[in-house]
Amino acid sequence: MSLSATRPLFSSKFPPSSRAWLARQFRDPYVRERLSHPDRFRSRSAFKLLELAKKWKFFCPDVCAVVDLGAAPGGWSQVAAGKLGWIEEDVVGLPRPSTKDTRPPTLEFGLQVDSQSSSSQPWSHLVDEVAGTQGDPYLDEDITYAIGRGTVIAVDLLRMLPIPGVKTLQMDFLSPKADEYIGSLLKNEKNPEGKVDIVLSDMAANFSGHKAHDVESCLEICQAVITFARRHLRTAESVGREKGGVLVLKYFDHPLLAKFRHEELKPYFKGVFNSKPPASRTDSSEGYWICMGFKGDLPRLKTHKWRAAKSPSRPSDGIDANAGQIDEGREAP
């Protein structure tokens, strides 16, 4: 009897939609790449940021402060940490010992690991021990050697596993406490004002199936992100580069989002570009605004006119959530 490799079988217990999703995952080259990539990215979307960064080149050598909003599970934060040189060995979670320093690592709270027992004692035990004594309830400090530059901060309401070189905050990024906390983490001799070079947002609300409601949710997220960015971004003038002060913001194509871009993004940036990286699925209306050259939080000359006259959540508003086109790589009019 001859034997041959069998193809993965999807249980008939799964509903058709789940079987279709699993089949798509097995066919997706980015899913396969994520599983085999040496960086072991936590999410498929990490490749989107890699492609955007390669095209738009916003991770310049002078970038020293990055904030990732809605960061969980951490794929974009991994990319940012890698761009700033924090992930020297291609490992997620805890890096291999650095060749630049052979001393045993010292945790943020002063706990030093015995070099003879570090290989046998789980890191999670040490982290729990520290957190149970004098740890910060909001902050998950990275426990890596100082091999990179600057600071990467990941903010989310969900708890995240540690990432080399990333300070993880579990809080609402719009809260006054978050403003003060993020500023304090970023302040140093090179960044006395605690400003951010790049703000990243790959956030998306859970889809309800109601197109008008989903559009409104997307608008609310975009408004929250630009509100944060206007408070924290470094201006192009202070950076000394025409394209300094960058916001990368996810959106879903719709006329109301195009209006938002024109009224809420263009007044604050020297260039606002639409981009859809190859890793974005072709059947998805998602895109990314690449906003470069932050001008500063200018006085508002008008109210938020991007909102519909009536609530977009009402079916009677007649909003077509499929309208509009993504203009790849062109500056927004």
CB 223 within 8 A of CB 217: no
Question: Is residue 153 helix, strand or coil?
Answer: strand
* Strand ranges inside 81-179, DSSP E: 139-140, 151-156, 166-170
CB 153 within 8 A of CB 182: yes
Q: Is 250 a catalytic residue?
A: yes
* Strand ranges inside the chain, DSSP E: 65-69, 139-140, 151-156, 166-170, 198-201, 246-252, 269-275, 286-294
What contacts 6, CB < 8 A, 6 or more positions away?
Answer: none
CB 201 within 8 A of CB 225: yes
CB 226 within 8 A of CB 265: yes
Q: DSSP string spanning 75-144? A: HHHHHHHHHTT---SS-SSSPPPPTT--SPPB-TTSPBPPTTTTTTS-HHHHHHHHHTTT--SSEE----
Q: Which of 211, 250, 295, 302 is catalytic?
A: 250
What is the CB neighbour count within 10 angstroms for residue 66?
27
Question: Is residue 157 helix, strand or coil?
Answer: coil
CB 242 within 8 A of CB 236: yes
Amino acid identity, position 140: D
Which candidate, 234, 313, 212, 329, places its Cα nearest to that of 273? 329
* Active-site residue list: 250
